[in-house]
Structure 1
């Protein structure tokens, strides 16, 4: 049994082109009409193929086949995108899952049940990324959420409470996703097997200087907040490059105030993010950097998002490798630097991820692309893995 790659391609392009707003790239933002319409389309496709579907109160979709009294292996991804995003991120995983479910339905296993999962709000949004998976695993306290933000997302606190802590007792969860980097491309376009997903620690730093006239204040008397912020950025970059465990650090967002050509910057707010698959490093490196910053500059620091690093299941990793070997397809183990719903689910069940090589590593961009032969290899490995897990 092998997958129908043309059906995956047609479904992916249909969803990308039909449920899309904006004039550049692909836009199905979290909680948007386009995301809702895309999930509604998926539900209709499943029901048309005789598959039972349920939706929870926040919009997550679950489609199950197989015996009610047998272990359930789940698989899937998300259909929302970043603004002006690409065709493949998230959606490819859902279309691959749909194809696998259709193939498994024909197989009619009496030993294992399978469930396609499409989770809402995975991409960064005002309610926080991986929202659908965090709600069902009880990691979102609705009382902490802003009413105006909830209203904009067309959600209520009651809906979130109804969906909270409803994670099923899955035997495992597998997500197929594009890599979004160049590791696989630089290693012969093998299929990636994720060993662990990097955790995230963010801090919001406000550098305090003193605004002044850009023409009259002598250089030696200036307290230029942007100059100080740039020194901090350089320090972070130089220090993280000394590490040899794959840890990365980014200052990707700055707001300069008052942000005028004739005024020395008096204040800069910036976001300092660290990602690492090493739990100890994820804790120690931000602390060391922030300590240095506080010693050398006048700053205010506000903690931001924290997401732990999680390892994938040895059982699922090995099953993926064995499935690929059976198909005579090359694989390599690797870490995921990007966060995914799988990372949220990992503490609750056996999890695994299969990565498709990304051309030039481009993602979150209209130019995002993967070779269809590489996609076909990865989806066939996923299907063989799911078939093998029932044995």
Structure 2
């Protein structure tokens, strides 16, 4: 089913007799999909408003991300949250859509400075599980009022409603960028170095740990980047420096987890406090790992058999807080390991109450998040 507009979408959902599987470009979901008839939103496309002066763009949820980014590039702007592309990691084809980006709260390395996707989202329109058309927030930043359903929809994976339109704030594209790269460091030293850099006044927009080396990124006007790079070098020591295209390539690889693309193995996405990164790395010492967000995001590739180390990993996470999502695995592994981290009982109760309110029949992406 491919509704041509929002009204048709509402009619389809209201008249649905069974589960619906929401499909944008087919590039963002992971784990078992829970079944259901495919409901495509690819026809809900087009940029309806772009005001560079107001730092705002509004687009249909089915609009290709590439179209949004091209329009912003012409205006010398970009989405603040550096959208990752997991098609290589997940072995997917398809075209990423702005609605899919919002539905999974897709956020890249710049999250430490600019926030996540939900922090740039200022308005949404969506259809709930009863077929009711709802809107929340506004089309410009000054109009955002009322209950903040905007942030609730970001990261809900289509389980509360089907997005039809999203409004995002945007930011200017930087003129230059530079990345400082350390020598070999262990996990403890890496966290200390990233924390020192992020606590400095030099506006670090990326802090990662790959191949035993820390990466720190600075962006902005060319003169400012040169000055801040020099000052950060004084703070951190004589690290290597790469600039512009070479710097961008490093962060694109970390953002998209491209080192794990096309390889065999299950892939975990682990979110913890940066100070807990060394302990997680010690637990996963035989895994291939990459870290982002100053140590707060850990990507780990492990052998894809048994439970893919789910029992020790999630037991450890339960003791320190955070969550571990199984982003990629075979059907046998997924048959015994939930893709999403199990919720605490109190959180699960809130989740169930929200779903009962927005999707009383339980037809929207059932099984996607548990």
Is this a same-fold pair by TM over 0.5? no
TM-score by length of 1: 0.25
Of structures 1 and 2, the one with the larger relative CO (CA 8 A, separation 6+) is 1
For the pair shown, the structure with the greater C-alpha radius of gyration is 1
TM-score by length of 2: 0.26
